Structure 1
Amino acid sequence: MSWERQITIKSAQEIEIMRQAGRINAEALAAAKSVARPGATTADLNAAAEEVLRKYGCYSPFKGYPGPTPYPASTNVSVNEELVHGIPGKRKLKEGDIVSVDCGTVYEGFVADSAITFGVGQVSETARKLMEVTEGALYAGIAKMVVGNHLGDVSAAIQQYVESRGYYVTREYTGHGVGREMHEGPQVPNYGQPGRGLILRSGMTIALEPMVLVGTPMTRVMPDLWTVKSADGSLTGHFEHSVAVTENGPYILTTLDEGQSAGRNANVQL
């Protein structure tokens, strides 16, 4: 089955259910970020997120997700050169680390999926700029999620934002549709050509997720068969929102009640 055939158009009511899932997901990410300090383990961050999900009677579609082995946690916690799919565990965070946390929430049968990257204490200038560029690329892509635009417009906006600032987008991992399933159509690469690809329609819901690397677009998978690192060991960043395409423009579903991202950086240039 092609990705395009898997696309589902959501009703206004279904989108509002996804918004509720998104609020919970943002709260879970904020909880994970709140416990990230030197000496905390990546498992501590996962536990904080899981506590929020339990409070609302929700669960993460990540846990038990099929793969080389069933995924064992509710979040991905990826540190420094780890781009995505880091398995939470005994690793202790230290001053200057940057941490990407990706979480999903299932609420009333619908999925929200989002990710943030943040620093532990004082981080390097390279790390700070990387986080700003990665998040800025997310919002550049979101701005193109307008009825009548092409998917290529979204992908190209992300690529241009990142590469014009001297960084790299992964060619191996993509954004995706989201709804009753965590991975629906369409696939949304972080690179592309304007005016190409599927035309966006009202009711589409997409998890847009720039994954950005400092030194190379190449990645490698670790022996745990889940964790993905930059091929050269350079720093990486990852931001994600679930977004609905509506007649009134893009509707970000995975923010807190006040409309703020769980990990928004103040200096992001849009």
Structure 2
Amino acid sequence: MTQQDRPAPRGRVLIVAGSDSGGGAGIQADIKSVTALGGFAMTAITALTAQNTRGVHGVHGIPVDFVVQQMRVVLDDLGADAVKTGMMGLPDVIEAVADALADLAPDVPLVVDPVMMAKGGHALLDPSAEATLRTRLVPRATVLTPNAPEAEALTGRPIATVADLEEAGRALLDMGPRAVLMKGGHLEGETVTDLLIGPDGVVRMDAPRIASTATHGTGCTLASALACGIAQGLPLEQAVSRARAYVRCAMETAPGFGSGHGPMNHGHTVAPFSG
């Protein structure tokens, strides 16, 4: 395939999230995922982290006005077919991002990944921001993508079973998002069950658990892959299925870097350019 034969990116995704210096999660994973799935990634960075596979070693917040400025200049010029939010950090960041979305992109689909904790256990959302996330971003979401601990924090419900996962998902749906993708990876068992919950019912998606330490950035990657599918016009269930398949293959072909929770292979869909 020549360079002229290669398709142009399709589906513009603005990602509002934090940077991961280790490259496995955050903005870096988001950009890789959208690009690998044929979309065009744009960013508004909310925080810088000094991070590797062993954990988060430092966080430097970006001034709120500059977060909004990044969003504004991108949306004013390039536009977006979907927006994905990740690490927000503080209440004032959430407030500003929600206001900017209402002003600049009121009709653009929004995937909200309610990032609260890094894989190594470092808090990425101040506890004071949970209520703001619940009231400002969750109701605006086209799709909300919590894992079980995040859903527990947002609903106040303990989650230990798939039935609990469904009940919490329905409670989150009542908060206003159009759909909720409940991720079951934190539950025990050889099968991982995710639930796509919407006003028309529940779609259950099962897959065998992969025994792997290459789990860093799975949530960021899934949400961005989903946002890319939505930006490209895929029906929601198809966009979710493609995103889950992308993450699974990225885990199965992980490069094995680092001594902690390692990164995935985000580039598994990309063939090297040979001329």
TM beyond 0.5: no
TM-score interval, smaller chain: under 0.3
**Per chain length, whose mean CA-contact separation is higher, i.e. which structure has more relative contact order (CA < 8 Å, sep 6+)?**
1
The answer to which structure has the higher helix fraction is 2
